A and B are shown apart, each in its own frame.
Chain A
Amino acid sequence: MKAIRRVEGTMAPMPQADIDTDQIIPKQFLKRIERSGFGPFAFYDWARTDDGQLSSDFVLNRPEYQGSQVLVTGPNFGCGSSREHAPWALQDRGFDAIIAPSFADIFRNNCGKIGLVCVTLGQDEVSELIDISTSTPSAQVTVDLEELTVTCGDFYATFEFDEFARECLLNGWDEIALTEHLDEEISGYEKRRRGYLPSAKAV
């Protein structure tokens, strides 16, 4: 994962609450065994008409939101299925940060692992950013992970971020490698695990 200090760019507004991962990446694309290339399928059913054409009234298809880096959306974003394909699709579509009043736990975890920054702000602050990006699509927003701030013109907000997740993002750490450093402790734990616990060796 590459290190991330700040995300700068324009926003795309999707104010709905409870946008689930089935919307972000519909099931028919989960059969792919690759990790990349999901971007064109992001929000497929919302982005396409029944005959597969790009739907001009879907927000992300509008010319003014092409190239936006920050998705601003409603509470409980990313609920439902644990599919990491959802963050992959959003990142591949060009988003580097998402701002919402709350995120589903698994979705936020998944984003953290791939360097997609999930910023939690108050509903009023999110609504203000949605208004800004609706009235002025070219407005530039900065999400600063070092300072834990979001700025956009006169708009200024601070946010909280899990300290460990922040360090991983700022340094681009490989979490698996960090756990591998605990090999001795893991082996020690394995020696004291309860003996009856199920294992493929037992049957």
Chain B
Amino acid sequence: MSVEASNGAGRTIVEKIWDEHLVHREAGKPDVLYIDLHLVHEVTSPQAFEGLRLSGRRVRRPDLTFATADHNIPTTDRSLPISDPISKAQIDTLESNIGEFGIVYFGMHDPRQGIVHVIGPELGLTQPGMTIVCGDSHTSTHGAFGALAFGIGTSEVEHVLATQCLTQSRPKTMAVNFVGVAGEGVTAKDLILGVISEIGVGGGIGHVIEYRGEAITALSMEGRMTVCNMSIESGARAGLIAPDETTFEYLEGRPYAPSGSAWSEAVDFWRSLPSDKGSTYDEEVEIDAGSIAPFVTWGTTPGMSVQVTGSVPSPSEAADPSEASAMERSLAYMGLKAGTPIVDIPVDRVFIGSCTNGRIEDLRSAARVAAGHRLADSVKAMVVPGSSAVKAMAESEGLDKIFKDAGFEWREAGCSMCLGMNPDILEPGERAASTSNRNFEGRQGRGGRTHLVSPEMAAAASIAGHFVDIRDWEYK
């Protein structure tokens, strides 16, 4: 059933948010939706601002637009100038655009700086029931709060800057229902890798996913953000989770969250958002949470994963010849042999960070694993907090010391090695355990081999020098 067709009784949360933001509807055309929050960063915005200048347009709502620098900035000493002249030019361009158009900016030296999808929530900008966009596919992260949040391209960035609206065709809805609870050592990262493994990297195309069930409601906001973050890796337009007490507790008191009587007004509205009983979805998927073990990707899409207890699969197990050839290509790129037990795969590098797993809870979990241990001699590892605020909080808790004592590098906040736009990249042939979101060919550096895992699994691999089942880990 489309969003329009089910207007009225029995609406899903997606339909409620859609209706709430409808500015214009016309038969045979996509709807025009109002955008509550537009997050901007240095990489996908310069051409949009240039487009505004060329057409003589202004930013309609600079007060609903917030910018930061995250994608290409160095994570080393911030007191030094950016050494890459092209990166510096991009940051300089953002800063000049921000000034010209009057937009709030959390720059490289601002304590509120960080990855767009980490700072929106921690500043309280991300709230239930909102529409949120950003020129970045991982905008789906904000869905953890029960917001409709999705990534857009630069032309759409320009459209939102100019009009605060977007022309959008109605999405289909998909419910992913987790049955039961996740076992010990199974994290939000493993739940979402399990979803992608189940529905495939194109399974979500055209849909907004709502994640439901006890395994989801039991998660912290950080865990929910990890799940929603990787919705795009299934092809979904967005992913979200209905707001509840956990959501409200996280938000209360944050800088941009409502306060006083506005707080109770907001909470009343937020409580009305969860999908109504009897609302229907275009598609429903059931996943047994108890059957999910820690996941490790072995290939070059986030759907190419196995549980840590398994082995690298063989192309002979493929469903059809095109899948077999994709598997062969991936195995060749990854330098892996079919049948190799996952725990026998050695790692050279470990990256803990990103908008998927760079929040405080992720760093705490990884630090618990690393505490009292030393990195394996062959491993280089780095921790890159998702925001400057996460970094400061981690330092106040002594997590930086735990990591440094274990031999990790402790860096400044940014996207870093998740996409390798800054100097943090893999060398050709290097194999990494990474808490990020994409294991595409060359994603973390040309010829680099990425295995996606949870922060706990990444930390354990850095100590052991190869993947281990975190459920067998001896904590010190």
Binary contact readout B239-276 vs A (1 if CB under 8 angstroms, 0 otherwise): 00000000000000001111000110110010000000
- Residue B43, interface by CB 8 Å: yes
Whole-angstrom distance between the Cβ of B153 and the nearest chain A Cβ: 4
Contact residues in A for B266 (Cβ distance below 8 Å): 194, 196
Give A15 to B24 CA distance when docked, in angstroms. 40
- Residue A171, interface by CB 8 Å: no
A110 and B155: CB pair below 8 A? Answer: yes
Contact residues of B between 80 and 133, Cβ < 8 Å to A: 84, 86-87, 89-90, 93, 103-104, 124-125, 127, 130
Chain B, Cβ-Cβ closest to A103: B205
Whole-angstrom distance between the Cβ of B384 and the nearest chain A Cβ: 16
- Residue A53, interface by CB 8 Å: no
- Residue B454, interface by CB 8 Å: no
Contact residues in A for B455 (Cβ distance below 8 Å): none
Contact residues in B for A23 (Cβ distance below 8 Å): 440-442
* Most chain B CB within a 10 A radius of its CB, from A76, A109, A193, A198: A198
B44 and A82: CB pair below 8 A? Answer: yes
Give A23 to B333 CA distance when docked, in angstroms. 14
Give A34 to B4 CA distance when docked, in angstroms. 39
Q: Which of B30, B93, B156, B421 contacts A30 (CB under 8 A)? A: B421
A197 and B87: CB pair below 8 A? Answer: no
B322 and A15: CB pair below 8 A? Answer: yes
A176 and B57: CB pair below 8 A? Answer: yes
- Residue B78, interface by CB 8 Å: no
A17 and B322: CB pair below 8 A? Answer: yes
Give A22 to B124 CA distance when docked, in angstroms. 31
Given contacts A16-B326, A18-B201, A33-B47, contact A179 B163 (CB under 8 A): yes
Give A36 to B34 CA distance when docked, in angstroms. 30
Chain A, Cβ-Cβ closest to B162: A176
Interface-located stretch among B62-70, B362-370, B400-408: B62-70
Binary contact readout B149-192 vs A (1 if CB under 8 angstroms, 0 otherwise): 01111111011001111010100000000000000000000000
Q: Which of B23, B62, B72, B87 contacts A186 (CB under 8 A)? A: B23
Binary contact readout B42-79 vs A (1 if CB under 8 angstroms, 0 otherwise): 01101100110001010010111110000110000000
Give A175 to B30 CA distance when docked, in angstroms. 12
Binary contact readout A14-32 vs B (1 if CB under 8 angstroms, 0 otherwise): 0111101011001110111
Given contacts A33-B93, A109-B152, contact A17 B36 (CB under 8 A): no
B235 and A27: CB pair below 8 A? Answer: no
Contact residues in A for B60 (Cβ distance below 8 Å): 186
Whole-angstrom distance between the Cβ of A36 and the nearest chain B Cβ: 9
Contact residues in A for B446 (Cβ distance below 8 Å): 26, 45, 50
Contact residues in B for A201 (Cβ distance below 8 Å): 63
Whole-angstrom distance between the Cβ of B303 and the nearest chain A Cβ: 8
Given contacts A82-B151, A102-B205, contact A162 B169 (CB under 8 A): yes
- Residue B137, interface by CB 8 Å: yes
Contact residues in B for A45 (Cβ distance below 8 Å): 441-442, 446
Q: Which of B125, B162, B167, B206 contacts A198 (CB under 8 A)? A: B125
- In addition to A15-B322, A109-B153, A203-B255, 9 A-B residue pairs with Cβ atoms within 8 Å of each other are A17-B322, A31-B421, A33-B89, A84-B44, A84-B135, A163-B29, A176-B55, A180-B162, A196-B258
The 3 closest A-B pairs by CB, nearest first: A113-B155, A110-B153, A84-B153
Interface residues of B (CB under 8 A from A): 23-24, 28-30, 32, 34, 36-37, 43-44, 46-47, 50-51, 55, 57, 60, 62-66, 71-72, 84, 86-87, 89-90, 93, 103-104, 124-125, 127, 130, 135-137, 150-156, 158-159, 162-165, 167, 169, 201-202, 205-206, 232, 235, 237, 255-258, 262-263, 265-266, 269, 301, 322-323, 326, 329, 419-421, 428, 438, 440-443, 446-447
A and B contact pairs by CB, cutoff 8 A, 24 listed: A17-B322, A17-B323, A22-B438, A31-B87, A33-B89, A74-B322, A76-B205, A80-B440, A82-B152, A82-B153, A87-B153, A106-B152, A106-B153, A109-B153, A113-B156, A164-B167, A176-B55, A176-B57, A195-B262, A196-B265, A198-B125, A198-B256, A199-B63, A202-B256
